[in-house]
Structure 1
Amino acid sequence: MATKYLKRFFKPASIAVFGASAREDSMGGIVIQNLLESGFKGAIYAVNRHEYDEVHGVPCFRTLSDLPEMPDLAIVCSPPDTVADLIRGLGVSMVKAAMILTGGLSMTKDESHRTLRDEVREAAKPYGIRIMGPDCMGMLVPGHHMNASYSHVNILKGKVAYIGQSGILGTAMIDWATGQEIGFSHFLTLGDGADVDLPSVIDYLAQDPYTHAILLQLNRVDGSARDFLSAVRSASRNKLVLVLKNDTFIGDKSATTLAEGIYDDDLVYDAALRRAGVVRVKRSDDLFNALETLTRMKPMRGERLAILCNGTGPNALATEQLFKHGGKLAPLTDETIEALAEILPPHWNRSNPVDLNSDARPERFAEAVRLLTKDKNVDAVLMLHAPTRMASSVNTADAVIQIAKKTPRNILTCFMGRATAIEARNHCNSAGISTFLTPEESVDAFMHMVDFHRNQDVMRQTPPPYIEQCSPHHIRARELVQEALLEERDYLRHGEAIELLDLYDIPVANTFYCDTIDEVVSRAKKIEGTVQVKALHHQNVYPFSYDDTGRQRWKEVVQDLFSSTEVEHATTQLSYRMGEIYPAEDLMGFCVQQMKRGFQSLQINVGITRDPTFGPVIFFGVGGHTVDVLADRHVMLPPLNMSLASELIRQSRLCQILKENSYRPQQDMQQLANLLLKLSEMVVDLPNLKGLEINPMLVNKSGLLVMDVSVSLSPEAGCLSISPYPEHLTEEITLKRSGRKAIMRAIRGEDEPNHLEFYNKLSPQSIRLRYFYSRGIPTHQELANWTQIDYDREMAFIITAPREDGDGMETLGVVRAVTDADNVQAEFSVVIRDDLQGEGLGVALMNKVIDYCKSRGTLQILGSTLPNNKGMQNLAKKLGFTNSYNAEEEVVDMRMMLNEPSEDWQRLRLNIPH
């Protein structure tokens, strides 16, 4: 996630284009023409080994060493086999940024299977030069008057940044956006991503004040999924982020690696992007429509939509599409209905969607839109128009535009048709009003914004109180896994898998293991009621043993056995059938359980799998031995909290079944959510856990009960894509003056209510010293940002202690450190409750955050305070900070070196002499 030198790509003072010529088909020549036409203010040089004096009026030099100065940015359009040597030369000459437009570097050079791309990466590494590409289209930054690309047209200036992985799709987007008069703050494609990666660029643009929205065109996630999600989650907290994810599969899906038990990796991508708080679209036209919405819509007031048209057909299409995507029609107030009745025919439908009738003129359209925007129940208005002689498209557009300019509500328009509708849509585009071709597209565009805000709400939900899940049994769980790995087994035996669940307090049916048919009969006699017998073999110790239909591979279970004769006969047949399929050394005996069919149970399928891109994934859905368990499989990335676990359950059709059939659905939902939390905890505790499948688990009036489970292992530890809660940083402390016992730990989302209470106990003076100004009570969104942090990017430690009345815990103080993307500097802030001054809380918190940042390799920790905050300044001096007055900001800066810089760019960032 490093952003060092990226400024040289986005705001270079000088550019050299290698491989440029005056030929019509010269990519480098096209880049120079585009730089000139975009009005680039810096120096431009062409470099070509052939003897050109100039290229399109730009001076041309034969070699790098002939240049009058080394450029900030080198753009490489040379033949593939020359690129590595060129990068090596740029590195020697201290050029720190190179953008490679040349393609074809993925081909192998020799029998070693090394590619030209690998050679370029190795050439750049010793010199610290950053590489964008190869095979990228270049970069366009209108605010810097820079079109450093091979695009056939320039882009307009706007507030949306576009980052793509496909150059051709990028040029199509430019062409479309220019035609729609939509602009960009930045536009680039990364190509093969040899060095500069997606997270780095997202981090850079997330900090750019001129970028209000980010569009990502994504083929795949290369490199660290954790870095990618961390960057996207961070960006989406402050900016609109939209992702066009292409279908990974081209051709045969079986040729692509998938997570076991997951039939389509789109499920995992959907879960990951939802978790990041962004909106995903799956088609390019959706991206275009979403772009239209993102660039032109006003802040969302809510989700309730009013629809109007001069006919019932388009209204029906739009309404159907709205309901299909889970949207909401606005219920009109009586006042609005009466007002509309005065301008509509007597037979109008008196409801939303509003039928203006085929004789509607532009004035009726405009007045109806005006009245709907005044309705307190309406959050947005969609106006659909079918051209008639009574209401031409252009006149209607102009009338509605006047209303749209005067309202804070969002108004979307749809002018159906072509011959007479094109000009109307052009008028709307020029006025900055979102307009679309069809009712369905219009609704989809509205739902993009709705989905974004829903995802943001989920990301900022205040989790219920934290439930401590830790137990001494977890040590035994880790031992269980390690013992299997030491025996070179990549699975747990059935009995070990049962024990693992028991260690995490997951209820499991009484299970008995037998080696022979006689033992099965003997054990069955001791079990009350009917029994089931399962044959154990080498294959079904692994999770996800399905055939192509998603059903279990073999009929290895016999059920509803009552008498000893039935047990013996069925087990004998089962044994014979297994003997035909597997060799004797693969058979592992039988397990016997009491049947639970008579308990009116619902069956669920839940567990853990590991995605090749995003790592561990938790899944949930309807289960059973005879159903297609893949048909209702929903996934979410761990770690989970109660809110996320509940959201995963709500996605499944099992949720509706529970609501319709359970006499205590809320209690059942709570138990299932607790189960998911235990699985999430298991993922964090056991990094060698590859897969775990519980199928079926019964849900009935007696609670939850696991009937069958299988577990697979991997010698390689799995890494979560989202940083888990750092429990290992928790420690007990004793307050200095009162001797009160307290806990110092990392903050978590469940602390939000206590954090608000803590804030409200601060004096106005403490708030002013902390924030440098007087401020009101923080909003939920602010509190969520403070408590639901990304532990890969920032850290906040709190001290919490039992309340004096014994009713729960309270927060006493907090320290926060936010580290830059390059891990050079961490900026801290600390605040202690006024009534607890002198208890040593400030020293304890500051030492904690200093040690934490130092252990992460952060080079410097710094903070600022007001000149009259002598307490903070004295504390900083006591801890070893260097204090200095900053006259420009009128604050006192406090700095401490934690680790020595090892590279020149780090020293430059810290203003340290070489």
Structure 2
Amino acid sequence: MVRHRLAALFEPQSVITVVSPDARCHLQFDTAVTLHHVVYDPHQAWPSNDGGETRWDLAVVCVPADQLLDVLHHLSAWRPRALSLLTHPSSQPYDAQLIASLTTWAQAQHCLVLGPRSFGLMRPGGKLNASIHPVAPQAGKIAVVSQSRTIATALLDWNENAQVGFSTVVDLGEEMDVDLAAVLDYLAVDVQTDSIVLYLHSHPMARRFASAIYAASAAKPIIVLKAGGIHEGPALRAREEVFSALMRRVGAIRVRYLMQLYAALKVLSLKRRVKGSRIAIVSNGDGVAQLAVDIMRHGTIVELATLSTKTRHALERMALPTDRLQNPIARYAPWTTGYIEQVIESLAVDEQVDGILVLIAPDPYADLSQIADSILKMSTTLYKPLMSCFVGEASMRPLRHRLEQAGIPAMRTPDAAIDAINTLASYYHNQRLAQQILPAESLGRPAQLRAARALITALQQQGVRYMDEADCAQLLGYFQIPIQTQALPQTLPNLAPTSVHSYTDEHYGPYIVFGAAQSQLQFLNSRTSVALPPLNRYLARHLIERAPIWQERLGAEAGGAIYAQLQQALERLSELVSEIPAVKGVHIDPLWLSPSGLYASQLVIELHAQAVTTMPEHTGYSHMAIHPYPRYLVQQHHFSSGQRWALRPIRPEDAQALQEFVRNLSEESRYMRFVSMMRELSASMLSRYTRIDYDRELALVATIPHHTSNKDEGDQVIAFAHYLRNRDGVGAEYALVVADDWQRHGLGVQMMRALIQAATHQGLSYIDGYVLASNYAMLGLLKHLGFKDDMDKYDPSLRRVWLELPQQAS
């Protein structure tokens, strides 16, 4: 297996440590690790590297900044693959000259750098503690990545009581080289990690971060706590809203407070996680239950489960006259172990219940110690998540601690319990949404890009910053945005006017805002809905429905025609700001809604002061946080018969067509591609293949129009090819399959050539794939394209067929 590029940092097999006598770092490594320890003294001779030409994986350095260059000079003989620079008690600053020298050294040594001024890293499962923290936590499955040394140490200190298990704890320091995106790429494929918690205090590199967190969140829950900043202003508040929109888009869950993060850490440690929103609550009083229900009513997706008839009958059989049998269930009499175990057993088999929360307030008449033991016993036998909340401090803290030591989350307050459940339920809710099969739809008419770009170039050459009404209308027309700019019609429906804006954030690029018109803010909710382009129909619908003006007024008042026009307008506006980087802002306020059309009373389009001349497809759409659909890769072809076909990147809307394609393959073709007898793709595989991050991977389909009964039903997929990045970060694994009826038409060659061209454009060094040795057709095709063919050393029935890609000039 290819080793991950960060394996030298997180899974070192050889380590050299260099620390000054006054350093306060704590170094612990597995006995299998080759270790060399140096107490640094500038006046003493440096030990020699007995390994000669052998590279060491990791160097851990904790010395004052003014001694670093000397240490680096001596470390060159050890040629470490990774360097971790721990913060030193002297707190000497790393000035620009020192950073430049460190960068030059690292590039010459091909060495990754964590830090400088990092807390360090821990990998409890591998007995690795290379940090300034004295006590490593117990091993577990949660990774913590922090941009703050103080937050990392606070989490570890809190965890000494909570006893949550961690797979990784790492503080990034000043992120000179090993940044947040790189660590996320590693954790996404790390078998020791099944969930990730991030603390951020600055905004990471937008595109790299968005790509990395999107890939990781597709496999594992990611919880993000981000500080807004010390000096708050309108621009910062807007950026925080954009960041929240980005988290929604990439599938991560953002929490706002440190206590929410603590609660999330506890619930992530559950062996059986909450994967639904229907919760059954059992309490020993109304007060704590009502507090929990109140929290559920304010912006959570968690809801009270409706108990099945069977469960209600089971509760009735064990009930006392004063018990409440509806959810939330309550018994006011002192609890017994028999009662709570029977209730939990009944709820655990109810298919309408996704999780169980037991709320307990102090009760001098009940033996709560025995109740805690019962909950502990039940949690080990249930297949559903069981959470507890022992409300209080003096008498309840020991009970919580007992459960937590056994790995059972026990919360202190009802709001913390509901917050924690909601956080994890939200992640799985978002993943289910992401795996929904979108209705098939045609790609649609492309915008008149050449004409639009020519118009903008001419205006910028004239020094225009704000386009006049005629030019604005012309630009909207080029992108088929259904918004009229002429005079309003005589009659309009009595609907509240709205507004649509696009702004450009200097960090995250363009974003779109939908809400009430400025004139309505004194009467209506002033909050708006924010989304980052690119938008498809599905995402445009979510942008509309998240806006308070739609939730409170227009959702019930506007008809389907208005809804459809608004979706199309937002989708096309998204395309405009994606394809024309020179546009700084678009402001439509008010926007009047009518079944006959959308009307802009005032339309302003602002251009950047500095002319933008490079086509966005040539820069990888670097002005955006998320790479849009690469329409420029769409190719139109004809077979020798005259049949028209298209080669294009896949879209989420192709999910159903791709599933039909796989179902219709012969058993031989399915086996040659998937090396299994699977008959169709699972929901997660279908989502993985169709929801592509075009910045780092690609999936292509060959399609023909699909017509039945004179009705256009989108496209029929007749071939599919894709590549996914390898663990080393520089290569990718490809795959190709062509429908049986369309083989020997040249599709395979054309699709592989398109894949090779795209992989080269993305800067990959090679692509490889594993082909059955009996698949002579595929092996011949790849040989024709210049691929090299090696026997797989682990499986003689497979061939590793690979191609080294030309490196583009930077």
TM-score, reference length from structure 2: 0.92
Task: Give the conservation status (yes or no) of the 8 Å contact 1:861–1:896.
Answer: yes
Query: What is the alpha-carbon distance in structure 1 between the residues aligned to residue 70 and residue 441 of structure 2?
Result: 57
Shift in alpha-carbon separation, 1:823–1:376, aligned structure 2, 3 A: closer
Percentage of identical aligned residues: 28
Gaps of 5+ in 1: 52-60, 512-592, 904-914
Match of 1:83 in 2: 68
Point out the more displaced range, 887-896 or 768-777: 887-896
- Per-residue CA shift, 1:248-291, capped at 9, x if unaligned? x203436xx54xxxx43221111111111111112112111101
Query: What is the alpha-carbon distance in structure 2 between the residues aligned to residue 252 and residue 289 of structure 1?
Result: 27
Match of 2:386 in 1: 411
Shift in alpha-carbon separation, 1:617–1:507, aligned structure 2, 3 A: same
Deviation of the 1:470 alpha carbon: 3.8
Task: Please list, as runs of the form range in 1=range in 2, the aligned pairs for 1:123-162 lying within 5 A after superposition.
Answer: 123-162=105-144
Deviation of the 1:668 alpha carbon: 2.4
Give the counterpart letter for 1:63 in structure 2: W
Give the counterpart letter for 2:602 in structure 1: D
The 3-state SS of whatever aligns with 1:889 is: coil
Shift in alpha-carbon separation, 1:880–1:502, aligned structure 2, 3 A: closer
Match of 1:199 in 2: 181
Match of 2:618 in 1: none
Match of 1:542 in 2: none
Give the counterpart letter for 2:20 in structure 1: A
The 3-state SS of whatever aligns with 2:717 is: strand
Give the counterpart letter for 1:177 in structure 2: N
- Per-residue CA shift, 1:10-43, capped at 9, x if unaligned? 122333333321x4xx23xx33xx327x767431
Task: Give the conservation status (yes or no) of the 8 Å contact 1:15–1:75.
Answer: yes
Match of 1:454 in 2: 429
Match of 1:364 in 2: 339
Match of 2:36 in 1: 44
The answer on 1:216 being equivalent to 2:216 is no
Task: Please list, as runs of the form range in 1=range in 2, the aligned pairs for 1:345-360 lying within 5 A after superposition.
Answer: 345-360=320-335
Number of equivalences: 790
Residue among 759, 775, 797 paired with 2:700: 797
Query: What is the alpha-carbon distance in structure 1 between the residues aligned to residue 719 and residue 743 of structure 2?
Result: 10
Match of 1:35 in 2: 28
Deviation of the 1:455 alpha carbon: 2.1
Shift in alpha-carbon separation, 1:232–1:252, aligned structure 2, 3 A: closer
Give the counterpart letter for 2:722 in structure 1: R
Match of 1:730 in 2: 634
Larger Rg: 1
Match of 1:314 in 2: 288
Query: What is the alpha-carbon distance in structure 1 between the residues aligned to residue 91 and residue 436 of structure 2?
Result: 46
Shift in alpha-carbon separation, 1:671–1:443, aligned structure 2, 3 A: same
Deviation of the 1:798 alpha carbon: 0.9
Match of 1:298 in 2: 272
Deviation of the 1:65 alpha carbon: 5.3
Task: Please list, as runs of the form range in 1=range in 2, the aligned pairs for 1:690-705 lying within 5 A after superposition.
Answer: 690-705=584-599
- Per-residue CA shift, 1:45-99, capped at 9, x if unaligned? 1141256xxxxxxxxx643657876743222222122324533553475333211
Give the counterpart letter for 1:720 in structure 2: M
Task: Give the conservation status (yes or no) of the 8 Å contact 2:267–2:273.
Answer: no
- Per-residue CA shift, 1:747-782, capped at 9, x if unaligned? 111100111111110111211111112124222222
Deviation of the 1:232 alpha carbon: 0.7
Query: What is the alpha-carbon distance in structure 2 between the residues aligned to residue 722 and residue 889 of structure 1?
Result: 39
Give the counterpart letter for 1:153 in structure 2: V
Task: Give the conservation status (yes or no) of the 8 Å contact 1:730–1:746.
Answer: yes
Task: Please list, as runs of the form range in 1=range in 2, the aligned pairs for 1:539-578 lying within 5 A after superposition.
Answer: none
The 3-state SS of whatever aligns with 2:526 is: helix
Deviation of the 1:197 alpha carbon: 1.0
The answer on 1:635 being equivalent to 2:620 is no
Match of 1:907 in 2: none
Deviation of the 1:787 alpha carbon: 0.9
- Per-residue CA shift, 1:529-564, capped at 9, x if unaligned? xxxxxxxxxxxxxxxxxxxxxxxxxxxxxxxxxxxx
Deviation of the 1:891 alpha carbon: 3.3
Match of 2:546 in 1: 651
Shift in alpha-carbon separation, 1:324–1:596, aligned structure 2, 3 A: farther
Shift in alpha-carbon separation, 1:161–1:657, aligned structure 2, 3 A: closer
The 3-state SS of whatever aligns with 2:549 is: helix
The answer on 1:8 being equivalent to 2:8 is yes
Match of 1:760 in 2: 663
Query: What is the alpha-carbon distance in structure 2 between the residues aligned to residue 852 and residue 281 of structure 1?
Result: 37
Match of 1:233 in 2: 214
- Per-residue CA shift, 1:830-881, capped at 9, x if unaligned? 1111122222222222222223223433322221122222221222222222
Query: What is the alpha-carbon distance in structure 1 between the residues aligned to residue 59 and residue 74 of structure 2?
Result: 11
The answer on 1:780 being equivalent to 2:780 is no
The answer on 1:100 being equivalent to 2:6 is no
- Per-residue CA shift, 1:214-254, capped at 9, x if unaligned? 111111233x311111111101111121111112x203436
Match of 2:158 in 1: 176
- Per-residue CA shift, 1:610-659, capped at 9, x if unaligned? 12221111111111335369922221111111111111111111222445
Match of 2:649 in 1: 746
Shift in alpha-carbon separation, 1:767–1:864, aligned structure 2, 3 A: same
Task: Give the conservation status (yes or no) of the 8 Å contact 2:167–2:192.
Answer: yes
Query: What is the alpha-carbon distance in structure 1 between the residues aligned to residue 316 and residue 266 of structure 2?
Result: 33
Residue among 742, 766, 769 paired with 1:836: 742
The 3-state SS of whatever aligns with 1:743 is: strand
Query: What is the alpha-carbon distance in structure 1 between the residues aligned to residue 187 and residue 134 of structure 2?
Result: 24
Shift in alpha-carbon separation, 1:120–1:418, aligned structure 2, 3 A: same
Query: What is the alpha-carbon distance in structure 2 between the residues aligned to residue 87 and residue 498 of structure 1?
Result: 61
Query: What is the alpha-carbon distance in structure 2 between the residues aligned to residue 238 and residue 510 of structure 1?
Result: 46
Match of 2:149 in 1: 167
Query: What is the alpha-carbon distance in structure 2 between the residues aligned to residue 285 and residue 800 of structure 1?
Result: 51
Gaps of 5+ in 2: 613-621
Deviation of the 1:151 alpha carbon: 0.2
Query: What is the alpha-carbon distance in structure 2 between the residues aligned to residue 4 and residue 302 of structure 1?
Result: 34
Shift in alpha-carbon separation, 1:882–1:439, aligned structure 2, 3 A: same
Give the counterpart letter for 2:112 in structure 1: R
Point out the more displaced range, 892-901 or 862-871: 892-901
Give the counterpart letter for 1:227 in structure 2: R
Task: Give the conservation status (yes or no) of the 8 Å contact 2:773–2:799.
Answer: no
The 3-state SS of whatever aligns with 1:375 is: coil
Task: Give the conservation status (yes or no) of the 8 Å contact 1:394–1:421.
Answer: no
Match of 2:776 in 1: 870
- Per-residue CA shift, 1:91-140, capped at 9, x if unaligned? 4753332111136889585xxxx454344334433333221101111111
The answer on 1:491 being equivalent to 2:491 is no
Deviation of the 1:301 alpha carbon: 4.4
The 3-state SS of whatever aligns with 2:629 is: coil
Point out the more displaced range, 182-191 or 695-704: 695-704
The answer on 1:338 being equivalent to 2:313 is yes
The answer on 1:253 being equivalent to 2:214 is no
Match of 1:719 in 2: 623
- Per-residue CA shift, 1:310-343, capped at 9, x if unaligned? 1001110001111213321111123222221222
Shift in alpha-carbon separation, 1:188–1:108, aligned structure 2, 3 A: closer
Query: What is the alpha-carbon distance in structure 2 between the residues aligned to residue 140 and residue 309 of structure 1?
Result: 39
Shift in alpha-carbon separation, 1:375–1:618, aligned structure 2, 3 A: same
Residue among 357, 362, 368 paired with 1:393: 368
Query: What is the alpha-carbon distance in structure 2 between the residues aligned to residue 874 and residue 457 of structure 1?
Result: 40
The answer on 1:63 being equivalent to 2:43 is no
Deviation of the 1:594 alpha carbon: 5.1
Give the counterpart letter for 2:177 in structure 1: D
Match of 1:553 in 2: none
Match of 1:445 in 2: 420
* CA root-mean-square deviation: 2.7
Deviation of the 1:475 alpha carbon: 2.8
Query: What is the alpha-carbon distance in structure 2 between the residues aligned to residue 176 and residue 600 of structure 1?
Result: 56
Deviation of the 1:896 alpha carbon: 4.1
Match of 1:242 in 2: 223
Deviation of the 1:829 alpha carbon: 1.0
Task: Give the conservation status (yes or no) of the 8 Å contact 1:105–1:117.
Answer: no
Match of 2:616 in 1: none
Query: What is the alpha-carbon distance in structure 2 between the residues aligned to residue 438 and residue 286 of structure 1?
Result: 11
Give the counterpart letter for 2:702 in structure 1: I
The answer on 1:623 being equivalent to 2:517 is yes
The 3-state SS of whatever aligns with 2:116 is: coil
